[in-house]
Amino acid sequence: MRKKIKEAERIVIKIGSSTLTYQNSKLNLGRIEKLIREIVNLKNQGKEVILVSSGAVAAGYGRLKLEASPGTIPEKQALAAIGQGTLMRTYQTIFSEYGYQVGQVLLTQKDLTDRKRYLNSRNTLYQLLDYNVIPVINENDTVAVKEIKFGDNDTLSALVSSLVGADLLVILSDIDGLYTADPRNDDSAKLISQVEEISSEIEELAGGAGTDRGTGGMATKIDAAKIATKAGLPLVIANGSLDQVVTKISEGEDLGTLFLPDSGMTSREQWIAFNLDIAGKIVIDEGATLALTKEGGSLLACGIVEARGEFSVGDVVDIIDQSGSRIAKGLVNYDQPEVDKIKGFQSEEIKSRLGYQAYDEVVHRDNLVLL
């Protein structure tokens, strides 16, 4: 897989706040320029690069020279408004010195959970790539609130990688990769070079939040790895302060931690699987679980035990077994009150229960993704 990385043509690179800034939240211009030169070198090879950049809030904080870190959402949004301009001006200035243009793309969760906005976002990014422009993506922190935040740019970078059909995702942070223990507290911790499967043991190795200047730690990077690998692309987590880190990774060197890809999904399956706007849950019995996981069937009303939440026709719902384990996600054909009325009944009884029958299935197999 390290050798196959050399063949990656479309690469998403996420740079964290701790890589972009000093401890005082001022931009680390020397490091930024070095990383940009490496990205330019990839572009000169004919590769497509999409940059997911954190740092807007930190840059705004650094410009205002505040004494205390921002604690409230309005404070962070105001700092993002100030810092985002600084960040983009820096990227524009340095990239243009090497003959490349950048395009700012600010996203919220709704841009990727709404199907039309999802497709529009993808079309915009494709057009920027066609123009040979480097998209610079960040969460729209100025307007995003809890209900629409991705929560961190690690998750955003994985969703963007899925959105554009990338061949490789590289996440640059202030740590060398995934360790067997927290290297800040345990001198015996060893770097894990490759992860073949994200097991519960791997998840337990992830600690809490990272630095004060960032929003994520290793846990968010593991979440990103779940999305990326399910979408069929490899992910490398590496230290952004290392010399020639992007070049070495792109040339297949054993650097950081490589997460191996799972079998790929179609674009529609990826949108369903990674849709963060879950409207509700449907609890199913053992027979329905078997039908979905082993027989490739649709979800029928007869296998439903309970409908939770206030979902409507076309919403994405989690499908869970009676122990609470997530089995699948899918687009539902009936709203929650209707599912409550037809649960446990055969498909031919739907009309008598509801007065009409739009579909035989509550979730059709074509609109369902196993997890």
Consult the annotation and say whether 182 binds a ligand.
no
Consult the annotation and say whether 26 binds a ligand.
no
Looking at residue 170, its amino acid is V
Consult the annotation and say whether 88 binds a ligand.
no
What is the DSSP secondary-structure string of 310-328?
Answer: ---TT-EEEEEETTS-EEE
Say how far apart CA 217 and CA 207 lie, in whole Å. 7
Q: Supply the DSSP symbol for 347.
A: G
Say how far apart CA 80 and CA 139 lie, in whole Å. 10
Report CA-CA distances (Å) from 291 to 27, 94, 107, 369: 54, 56, 37, 13
Consult the annotation and say whether 219 binds a ligand.
yes
Consult the annotation and say whether 6 binds a ligand.
no
For the record, the structure tokens of 157 come out as: 């970078």
Consult the annotation and say whether 187 binds a ligand.
no
Consult the annotation and say whether 60 binds a ligand.
no
Consult the annotation and say whether 85 binds a ligand.
no
- Give the CA angle between residues 23, 28, 29 to the nearest 5°: 165
Residue pointed to by tokens 């009303």? 301
- Residue 73, C-beta contacts closer than 8 angstroms, at least 6 positions apart: 145, 146
Strand runs labelled E in 199-301: 235-239, 257-259, 280-284
- Residue 3, C-beta contacts closer than 8 angstroms, at least 6 positions apart: 252
Tally Cβ neighbours within 10 Å of residue 357. Answer: 15
Say how far apart CA 181 and CA 217 lie, in whole Å. 14
Consult the annotation and say whether 185 binds a ligand.
no
Tally Cβ neighbours within 10 Å of residue 279. Answer: 17
Q: Supply the DSSP symbol for 230.
A: H
Looking at residue 126, its amino acid is Y
Consult the annotation and say whether 111 binds a ligand.
no
Consult the annotation and say whether 217 binds a ligand.
yes
Annotated binding site: 14, 54, 141, 153, 173-174, 215-221
Annotated binding site for substrate: 54, 141, 153
Annotated binding site for ATP: 14, 173-174, 215-221
